[in-house]
Structure 1
């Protein structure tokens, strides 16, 4: 069994900060976890005051029978509220936000 850890990085000036981490889903195999992680990685809309925002994702093994309580994601909506990014990017950043705001499903994201 595997779970995915999402890592949210924000860049301000030249400093890159790990802003938060959260767990996402339960997967039967590392291959299934990595396939899901590919879509979670990449740029996100950049809140005002930051130079960049992006997610990385890594898959880690968990013991069978372990239930993953998904971590509460950072409220990007709150960061972006009333201050949308200056540039609308075609990088898939907004698609990723929609996917991250959707629960993994009643079966815990089991693949």
Structure 2
């Protein structure tokens, strides 16, 4: 199963920022996801004080028994502050997470 991750980019002056990311839909295979993503890629209306705005879409694989919940982006830093992980690891893919961990 696949889902789409919608990525919103905004340009102000010479700086480009990823302003948001959210999930959309569940698709049986990658080709179905890519077909649905075609119309979602490209320029979007530009907010005031910005020079450009566009959306990109990435199709990513998820396990078949996972339910995709469309929701607003999660503030990971705030979540880690309110609900710190039980164990903070500092190697491999967990290195960035360990930097956000608070010792209590």
User: TM-score interval w.r.t. the shorter chain?
Assistant: 0.5 to 0.7
What are the residue-to-residue correspondences of 1:1-111 with 2, within 5 Å?
A: 1-72=1-72
Q: Which one has the largest radius of gyration?
A: 2
For 1:12 and 1:51, the matched residues in 2 are separated by 5
How many angstroms does 1:65 deviate by? 1.3
Is there any run of 5+ residues in structure 2 with no aligned partner, and where? Answer: 74-104
TM-score normalised per structure 2: 0.68
| Greater share of residues in helix | 2
How many angstroms does 1:71 deviate by? 2.5
Partner of 1:83: none
Is there any run of 5+ residues in structure 1 with no aligned partner, and where? Answer: 74-111
Runs of 4+ in 1 over 2 A off after TM superposition: none
Looking at both structures, which has the greater relative contact order when contacts are Cα pairs under 8 Å and sequence separation is at least 6?
1
TM-score normalised per structure 1: 0.64
